[in-house]
Amino acid sequence: MSVGDSKPYPAKQAEPAEALHDAVAAPRWLVEDRSSPEHITIMRAITGQKRLQVAERMFWEARELKAAGIRHQHPEWSEAEVTAEVNRIFLHGTG
C-alpha cells in the first residue's frame, strides 16, 4: 500500500500471523513513505533513551488530551472523577 491509496484497509481478513506482521511492519512503511530522507536519518540516530523520553512525553500528553475531552463531556465531574476515568481508560484500553 502506498500513501495515495484510496482504500487504507485490506480487502480480506488477514491470517493471525499476517495481521501481527502487518501491525508491526505498518508503522515503518508509514513513517518512511511520508518522511524525508533527512527526517529518517535523524530518527534513526536518536538514542534509545531519547526515544523513551519522547514516548513518555507522548503518553502524558495523550492523558492530558483525554482528560480535557472527559471534562468537556462531563463538566459536572470533579477532578478526582476525571482522573479516575482517565486511569480506567488507559488501564483497560477503552474509551
> Could you read off the pLDDT of 34-92 as tens digits, one per residue?
778 887 788 888 888 998 998 999 999 999 999 999 999 999 999 999 999 999 999 99
Q: 16-31 pLDDT, tens per residue?
A: 566 555 555 555 555 5
* Cα–Cα distance, 76 to 60 (Å, whole number): 24
Element (H, E) at 29: helix 16-34
* Cα–Cα distance, 20 to 52 (Å, whole number): 23
* Cα–Cα distance, 66 to 53 (Å, whole number): 20
* Cα–Cα distance, 62 to 68 (Å, whole number): 10
Query: Full-prediction pTM beyond 0.85?
Result: no
Domain borders along the chain are 13-45, 48-95
